[in-house]
Structure 1
Amino acid sequence: MNTKILSALTATAAVTAMLGAAAPAHAFSFGANGISFAQDQEVEFNFLESHGAYTSSLGIYQVNNSVASLVSTLFSETKSSDNGGANEWRGTSGNTVASGLVRFTFLANQVYTLGLSSLYYGNSAGTVYSTSALNGGSQQAVFGGSSLFGALNLEKTNKFGAAGSFTNGLTSLFDKGFGTTISFDDRGNGNDTDFQDFTVTAEAVPEPMTMTGLALGLGGLIAARRRRASKAAS
């Protein structure tokens, strides 16, 4: 391959990689203070497990003037657990909720929150939000990397004392392969704040920037080479 072309391709790839690395800067909030993005951002959610006798559904709500309105339901439990009270009323994908991943596109400059609505033997047990301000200031969801899920499972007391340390999932949202863990406390069992009642992961879907950038770079190189060949021929 021509040395000049190879150098240009390398430079194009480097610029494209830098653009891809800058993608997380698009987001400016994804945590207990709210969810919002500076540009449209697609996020993939994956249900991990639930605990407790409540039958719950997790949705995305748009927030206007401190009022949350449901815009999309991500996961809905058809029953409270896989097998009654076994394993602390544990529910898993394919049993309490349909298996598979769900994607949602957050629109630029809109304010969102996640909301967990629960039923207890058919009666409403209320809704808690991932945005603490919508719960009257009470934190009902924790955000963190993959290590958070292990920390929750290893918690020995009824309360997850480190909750205040897990308020921002933005830094891990763009981690490829897992993203950030989001886990709710539904205020059941006397609001035990164990944050194990409904757990999902969220991972930002990357923009198709790399291949587009390379294609543009190759197109420019081919056009430049044709112009040089045309000048030489004339």
Structure 2
Amino acid sequence: MIKLNWTYIGISFGTLGLLNAMSLRAVAEDVIGNKGITFQEDTIIEMEFIESHGAYQSTFGVVDLDTCQTSASQAIDYDTCSKTPLLSEVKASDSFDNVYRRSTYETDLKESRNNDFLGTPGNTVPNFKTEFLFKANKRYAFYLESKFDGKPAGTVYTTDLLNSQGNRQALFNEAGLDTEAVAKRRNNPQFDANKFDVLIKGGLLLNLDDTGSKLVKNVDEDTDFDDFIVGIGGEYGCN
């Protein structure tokens, strides 16, 4: 569920501008999507871990972009950003799976699936429900920080501009995607819509992909967007 406190709701397309310059144009709107997250009023949003299908052990959370410091060259130092972990895996999957098995390159969040590296609420993620207070007019993004065999395996963000080469590592409100559908949505401006109206009318399904991290070569990226899946502002059931 989503808990909101506002006097006016403005829904339109939004932009965070050039993030590496830490600039944000003044906009009177609520924005959630691949261009960033910001709300006009203090907003509490409930989140629930749905399932995961990644070989990494990951933590999902919120990063406050207004706390990030920049270098003399105006590059963002991500180590200085304030991060709040919200949903954490205590192991990579419910049961051991062979990390060398090739991916199907399709999301496993569908009826006919392989269930590779399946992580479920109460098992891989014991504390699978949480909430976060987004303060008014601040810039945020969700992040997924991963490790493999106890070693850092990289971090990806829901805001495209924060990722390596500006790659899209998250899809908002997407389920049951096949390879063709994922290819259409990745780095395609056509799918950059502000999802705030969906958030308040039942909730979002956030699909995160952990590829692009330190341990995966380009040829091995599966971009199936099922490595970590979170319900935001609503309730979802998985069969």
Q: Tell me which interval the TM-score lies in, with the shorter structure as reference length.
A: 0.5 to 0.7
Judged with a 3 Å threshold, the aligned counterparts in structure 2 of structure 1 residues 98 and 24 are, in CA distance, closer, same or farther, namely farther
Structure 1: how far apart are the matches of 2:181 and 2:41? 39
Matches for 1:68-107 after TM superposition, within 5 Å: 68=78, 69-85=81-97, 87-107=115-135
What is the match of residue 112 of structure 1?
140
What is the match of residue 201 of structure 1?
231
Judged with a 3 Å threshold, the aligned counterparts in structure 2 of structure 1 residues 181 and 67 are, in CA distance, closer, same or farther, namely farther
- CA drift at 1:161: 3.5
| RMSD, matched Cα | 2.7
Q: Which amino acid aligns with 1:49?
A: E
Q: Which of structures 1 and 2 has the bigger CA Rg?
A: 1
CA deviation string 1:16-66 (max 9, x = no partner): xxx989546585210110111111111111100111210000010011365
- CA drift at 1:160: 4.5
Structure 1: unaligned runs, 5 residues or longer:
1-18, 205-234
CA deviation string 1:161-190 (max 9, x = no partner): 3344544432211023xx011111101652
What is the match of residue 210 of structure 2?
186
* TM-score normalised by L of structure 1: 0.67
Structure 1: how far apart are the matches of 2:37 and 2:46? 14
Judged with a 3 Å threshold, the aligned counterparts in structure 2 of structure 1 residues 67 and 42 are, in CA distance, closer, same or farther, namely farther
* Residue 169 (structure 1) aligned to one of 173, 186, 195: 195
What is the match of residue 57 of structure 1?
59
Judged with a 3 Å threshold, the aligned counterparts in structure 2 of structure 1 residues 127 and 39 are, in CA distance, closer, same or farther, namely same
* Partner-residue secondary structure (3-state), 2:125: coil
Judged with a 3 Å threshold, the aligned counterparts in structure 2 of structure 1 residues 20 and 134 are, in CA distance, closer, same or farther, namely closer
**Contact residue 158 and residue 193 of structure 1 kept, 8 A:** no
Structure 2: how far apart are the matches of 1:197 and 1:72? 20
What is the match of residue 170 of structure 2?
141
Structure 2: how far apart are the matches of 1:109 and 1:20? 13
- Identity within the alignment, %: 35
Structure 1: how far apart are the matches of 2:6 and 2:136? 18
Q: Which amino acid aligns with 2:166?
A: G
CA deviation string 1:103-132 (max 9, x = no partner): 101000100011100001111110000000
* Partner-residue secondary structure (3-state), 1:89: coil
Structure 2: how far apart are the matches of 1:122 and 1:67? 23
* TM-score normalised by L of structure 2: 0.66
Structure 2: unaligned runs, 5 residues or longer:
12-27, 71-75, 98-113, 235-239
Structure 1: how far apart are the matches of 2:171 and 2:60? 14
- CA drift at 1:156: 5.0
Judged with a 3 Å threshold, the aligned counterparts in structure 2 of structure 1 residues 143 and 87 are, in CA distance, closer, same or farther, namely same
Judged with a 3 Å threshold, the aligned counterparts in structure 2 of structure 1 residues 201 and 27 are, in CA distance, closer, same or farther, namely farther
CA deviation string 1:135-163 (max 9, x = no partner): 1311111112xxx22x23xx257954334
